[in-house]
Amino acid sequence: MKGIKRNDLLPIIVSAITEMEVIQGEFLSIDQIIVAELGRCIGLSRSKLCRLKVNGFQTISCKASLPKTEHILDGFSAVQDSMLRNGVSNSVVCHKCLQEMEFT
């Protein structure tokens, strides 16, 4: 089976595709795989398999692969934590304290 990147994340799909290759012959590309038949063999929906087919049958973890974004208050998190530990929960008071520390 050419063009499919095999990995340990989807061994069920890989084994089902291998079984389909035994019956139908080797697939030359990912486009030749019949998604409906693969879905019946595995028990996954066609939409899930179509999305996986577009990605080369590799699962992509959205949140884990993205870099962490910087937030406006990242530099002031220690100050916020100390105020909350001291019992200050009024947002106006916290904001004024942050403005005194040159928060814009």
The pLDDT assigned to 61 comes to 64
Q: What is the mean pLDDT of residues 48-70?
A: 74
Q: Is 37 exposed, middle or buried (0-12, 13-18, 19+ CB in 10 A)?
A: middle
Instruction: Give pLDDT tens digits for 77-102.
Output: 888 899 999 999 898 998 898 888 88
Residue 103 lies in a domain: yes
Instruction: Give pLDDT tens digits for 10-34.
Output: 677 888 888 888 888 887 777 788 8
The reply to whether 16 and 57 lie within a common domain is yes
The pLDDT assigned to 6 comes to 47
- pTM more than 0.85: no
The pLDDT assigned to 7 comes to 47
Task: Report the domain count for the chain.
Answer: 2
Residue 16: domain span: 11-62
Please report the DSSP string for 58-99 in residue order.
----HHHHSPPPP-TTGGGHHHHHHHHHTT---HHHHHHHHH
